[in-house]
Structure 1
Amino acid sequence: MNKMRNPALLGLALCSTLTLTACSKPAEQATDAASDTAFTLVDTEFNPRLAEYIKTLSADEFQGRAPATKGEELTVAYLEDNFRRIGLKPIDGDSYKQPVSLVQIDPTKVSALRLTGDKLPESFSYRDEMMAWTTQVVDSVEVIDSEMVFVGYGIVAPEYNWNDYEGLDVKGKTVVMFVNDPGYATQNPELFNGNAMTYYGRWTYKFEEAARQGAAMALIIHETAPASYGWGVVAHGSPIKFDLVNEDKNMSRSKIEGWITAESAATLFANIDTDIETLRAQALSGEFKPVPLNATASISVQNNLRELTSSNVVGYIEGSTYPDEFILYMAHWDHLGMDFSNPSNKVFNGAQDNASGTGAVIALAEYLAQQAQPERSVAFVLVTAEERGLLGSAWYAANPVFPLEKTAALINMDVMNVYGPMKDMVIVGLGNTDLEEILIKHTEAQGRYAVQEPNPEAGIAYRSDHFSLSKKGVPILYAKGGNDHYQLGAEWGAAQRAEYNSCCYHKVQDQWDDNWDLRGAQQDMFLYFRVGNELANSRLWPNWYPGNEFRAIRDASASARQ
């Protein structure tokens, strides 16, 4: 294993590149932050119009910026007007719009999960004991008497010499698997990526792999800690799904995707006289063989379908020397729309999530347009339907405006820092790409230090728009100001983040606040600019570190650049 894939070792490597003051015991720094003179407040005036952009995009007039609504019309027009004013080049005549075809899948009826097995109940109930849906774009699907088999973690990972499906034909069968990956389960830093989730731990990957294997139904066992959220998040939100309109209408996906509770899994496993922990141990043994559950499953789902058209908004500054090579800045412009059942506050304004990131992209474009023309082209990509499942970025990844093999890097912005200057810069997915080495260098120049996100086991690195391009091999940087406030310390900063998550995240309370301190966002934007500017004026081709799950894809694309 390459040592840079080990977060603990990587932390030491980070500290060796930074000043001793910046890296020695940050937690202790925070207890006496007000008297700390090692941090010099710099770079707080990147673009003073940032506040204007955020405030405008999060105004009630924009109706929560939901895709395929009046709110989208207003948002996209505003973005295009600003790109045009700044002088960015459009991508289609005089238009900055990339049309995105979406489908809304509304399950009108989902049956219980009907079971056969000597020691099994007649069924598992919808929402209480299982959650299921289909991404196939059809009016109805049905799985009948599908043989059930436990497939461990449902992972095929050549770089880790791991294949839970080895020697097994699951065509037409129902596969049952654990969430997250073996590294989290063992806390072994030498197994996968230790505590930090890899792509293989994400539920989205597990459904994708089950489909590649030909499974009719894929069921993930829900456990709160490895999933990083409770059963209510899985089963008690809106069942409506959104997806891209693909040529095959998603018929290549499994008929049914879903989750079962840990209690339901225990019932299934008792049918073969075993339990969750015994099977977990087998799945982690290194000698795992899939386990038939001596049971069958049946289920049916009926849908209402509605096809929608939305837009990504893309503009660029053409490079002077290498115009066919690109650096991308990305953010999602969409949010959750309106809650018509709320009599007092109907609009999900999404000020932090993600009017702040969208405004930052506009501000960056404006700043870069005033600099000397870069050698490489620099593109600004504002994507739709992130809140519906990273769909706008997934559409871009499948239908790239600029060739992905000639895209040197992507810098993603999702929820900017509105709480003031921070000493720390959080790198989400620390230890994945050598882009972070460039960021660390410029972070150090600001007198700040770089840290890993506090809960890498939650897989945040796979839950924002950069991930869509990661899967295509494009090296990404997703970083943001942390918690260690330059005057008030880390405890105060963490409390602000916690308060936002409690009071406002994905709620109508996420609104513009005149008391916000955008100096921290401005500092971060200088870092985004400096990283992008260095790449845009160099021959660097960043890559994933050896051992990363996306390294082979990027290496393969290198030949296409020649």
Structure 2
Amino acid sequence: MKYALAGLIGLTVLTGCGPASEEAKPTEKAAADIKDSAFNPNYKNYLKTLASDEFEGRAPASEGGEKAVSFIENHFREWGLKPYDEENNSYRQPLPLVKLMPYKVSSLSFSGESAPESMEYRTEMMAWTPRVVEEVNLNDSDVVFVGYGIVAPEYDWNDYEGLDVEGKTVVMFVNDPGYATGDPELFNGNAMTYYGRWTYKYEEAARQGAKAAFVIHETGPAGYGWGVVAGGSPVKFDLKRDNKNMDRAAVEGWITEKSANALFASVGKSLEEMKEQAVSGEFKPQSLDIQAAMTINNKYEYLDTNNVIGYIEGTKYPEEHVIYMAHHDHLGMDPVREDDPIYNGAQDNASGTAALMAMAEEFSKQPRPERSIVFAAVGAEESGLLGSAWYANNPLLPLGKAVGGINMDVMNVYGPMKDMVVVGYGNSNMDDYLKLYVEAQDRYIAPEPTPEKGFFYRSDHFNLAKKGVPMLYAKGGNDHFTKGREWGEEQRAIFNRDAYHKPADEFDENWDLRGVQQDMSLFYAVGEELANSREWPKWAPGNEFEAARKATQDMRK
């Protein structure tokens, strides 16, 4: 029964020559049918349950988090999905975490002839240790400016070229040179690349042997203010690691613009002068002729939570697979709050987890596809995309044979929208597979409005993209079919202001879930097409993830 749901729009799929043909236009009535169709009537119940007070905000390794895991697992079993651990008939993929709690952080002090004043914790700098140790000390560590801290062969860029930073403290700008210059020919122009993410910069600094790495905070290129950096909890989570594994820098952190100016004054330069130097194309790392010192006292504990993985095995090509992904965790509870201590996380991301469940339920009712379909409800996303990172390193099926994937994070609960916003638009031709179905709903694809903020690198699909898997991250936009764009933008703004990562993100009976149904039908159609074709989506030429995909191409022959 091919296209059990996509059949609503009367589409014909052509395989062997790329995504669905532009000539297969649906009728006007068919487009109207899918626009208002109910993809899965059980969706609301899944959403309402996951976002309920009973689940206590679904924090990793909490009682509420365990309830969420059990809820998803029980439904996967009910629908007859094959389990992640077939030997034990378990859908749980153990996700071992470590909780890092810096309880005493000194100021960041300097020595040297032109040394600036010490930088105070939280107000002038933020710092922590990613190492699983009780104390780290930074003593007389030479400070070196490394531009943007990027090593990107595909862009012929290496800020560390000819430099040995073993044991040193590196300082670098956030984002990448394309954003800084606005040059569309440099990196990806205004749109942030992977190399612009602060997480990459810490990883690269560690690979280079740095003892400490500090990123200069600027609100524009970072995409958020200093309050986001310094105002949250200093507690961090990571994947469980051996105490002796010191493949991370001892200190990671941020410094303010004002602090950076003070550092650069040691060599008679300003922040803007150093930025001009960093984007010149002829950049050379520069010692600041000062030494840094600080101490971080740390506590840690190990925690155990789970990803929940089920799959439908393909009839012809069982190792080739399509991945649907959503994170089931949120922020849990804050016992200090007396008014409302539960961070229910209804939109973020009970809405996406419920969509994943609805997708699995619908596929389970249909004849098995030729390729497998994996449903991954991952944990600890709010703690740093950890569940998806663990899955990417410990996949159910070889990721070299992953056809492509769809990530669902914060679904549209405001009703049918004309636009479908693609985050990371143009990264791969997964956009093309989506386009025809979007148009069948009398809608249009819209690139994300703020690509410079790097949202493509801030949700779970990113960890699979790093392994070379083309990933689609899209969601209903703001252009409401009847109420217009201004109304839609207002709803998003209210959520971001009043509810995002706050207790107010609760289920609302007044939500218009036709918007979610609308988008789920699209995601189903794209996945169903890929699961019954011989196509392999591709990254755009020159994309930073293209090399990882090419490295596994022999697996797909």
The answer as to 2:353 corresponding to 1:358 is yes
Shift of 1:108: 1.1
Give the Cα separation in 2 of the matches to 1:17 and 1:120. Answer: 63
2:301 to 301, 306, 329: 306
Out of 194, 207, 215, the position equivalent to 1:212 is 207
Match for 2:335 among 337, 340, 349? Answer: 340
Q: Within the alignment, does 1:520 sit opposite 2:515 as a pair? A: yes
Q: Does 1:489 align with 2:481?
A: no
Q: 2:40 aligns with which of 42, 47, 54?
A: 47
Partner of 1:34: none
Structure 1 letter corresponding to 2:58: R
**Residue 123 of structure 1: SS of its match in structure 2?**
coil
Question: How many angstroms apart in 2 are the aligned matches of 1:246 and 1:342?
Answer: 33
Counterpart selection for 1:436 from 417, 420, 431: 431
Match of 2:276 in 1: 281
> Is 1:67 the equivalent of 2:60?
yes
* Alignment partner, residue 362 of structure 2: 367
Q: Does 1:266 align with 2:258?
A: no
Unmatched segments (≥5 aa) in structure 2: 1-20
Q: Deviations over 1:350-408 (max 9, x none)?
A: 00000000000000111111122100010100000000000000110111121111111
Aligned equivalent of 1:33: none
Contact residue 18 and residue 449 of structure 1 kept, 8 A = no
Task: Decide whether aligned partners of structure 1 residues 354 and 511 sit closer, same or farther in structure 2, where only a CA change above 3 A counts.
Answer: same
* Cα distance, 1:498–1:39 mapped onto 2, change above 3 Å: farther
Q: What letter is aligned with 2:102?
A: P
1:388 to 350, 359, 383: 383
- Structure 2 distance, partners of 1:110, 1:548, is 39
Could you tell me which residue of structure 1 aligns to residue 324 of structure 2? 329
Q: Which deviates more, 487-496 or 42-51?
A: 42-51
2:206 is paired with a residue whose SS is helix
Q: Say whether the 8 Å CA contact 2:215–2:254 is kept in structure 1.
A: yes
- 1:172·1:216 contact (CA, 8 Å) conserved in 2? yes
Deviation, 1:344, is 2.3
Determine if the alignment matches structure 1 residue 552 to structure 2 residue 547.
yes
> Residue type matched to 1:60 in 2?
D
Indicate which of 497, 502, 521 corresponds to 2:497.
Answer: 502
Alpha-carbon distance between aligned partners in 1 of 2:77 and 2:425, rounded to the nearest angstrom? 36
Say whether the 8 Å CA contact 2:429–2:537 is kept in structure 1.
Answer: yes
Cα distance in 2 for residues equivalent to 1:527 and 1:488: 22
Which residue matches 1:79?
72
1:455-474 counterparts in 2 under 5 A? Answer: 455-474=450-469
- Taking the aligned partners of 1:266 and 1:18, their CA distance within structure 2 comes to 58
The TM-score with structure 1 as length reference comes to: 0.92
Following TM superposition, the consecutive aligned residue runs of length 4 or more in structure 1 with deviations greater than 2 angstroms are 16-19, 37-44, 117-122, 246-250
Q: Distance in 2 between matches of 1:456 and 1:559?
A: 33
Give the secondary-structure state (helix, strand or coil) at the position aligned to 2:360: helix
- Structure 1: which amino acid aligns with 2:82? K
CA distance in 2, matches of 1:139, 1:198: 35
Alpha-carbon displacement from aligned partner over 1:119-161 (angstroms, at most 9, x marks no partner):
3334111111111101011111111100011000000001001
Quick one: which amino acid aligns to residue 282 of structure 1?
Answer: Q
Taking structure 2 as the reference length, the TM-score comes to: 0.93
Pair 1:99–1:54, CA change in 2 (3 A):
same
Q: Distance in 1 between matches of 2:442 and 2:193?
A: 31
Give the number of equivalent residue pairs: 532
Q: Secondary structure at the residue paired with 2:529?
A: helix
The offset of 1:42, in angstroms, is: 2.8
Contact 2:116–2:266 under 8 Å retained in 1 = no
**Where in structure 1 are there 5+ consecutive unaligned residues?**
1-15, 20-36
Structure 2 counterpart of 1:125: 120
Per-residue deviation, 1:291: 1.1
CA distance in 1: counterparts of 2:524 and 2:536, whole angstroms: 17
Instruction: State the one-letter code of the partner of 1:86.
Output: W
8 Å CA contact retained: 2:175, 2:221: yes
- SS of 2:82's equivalent in the other structure is coil
Structure 1 counterpart SS, 2:113:
coil
Given that 2:59 and 2:65 are in contact with CA atoms closer than 8 Å, whether structure 1 keeps it comes out as yes
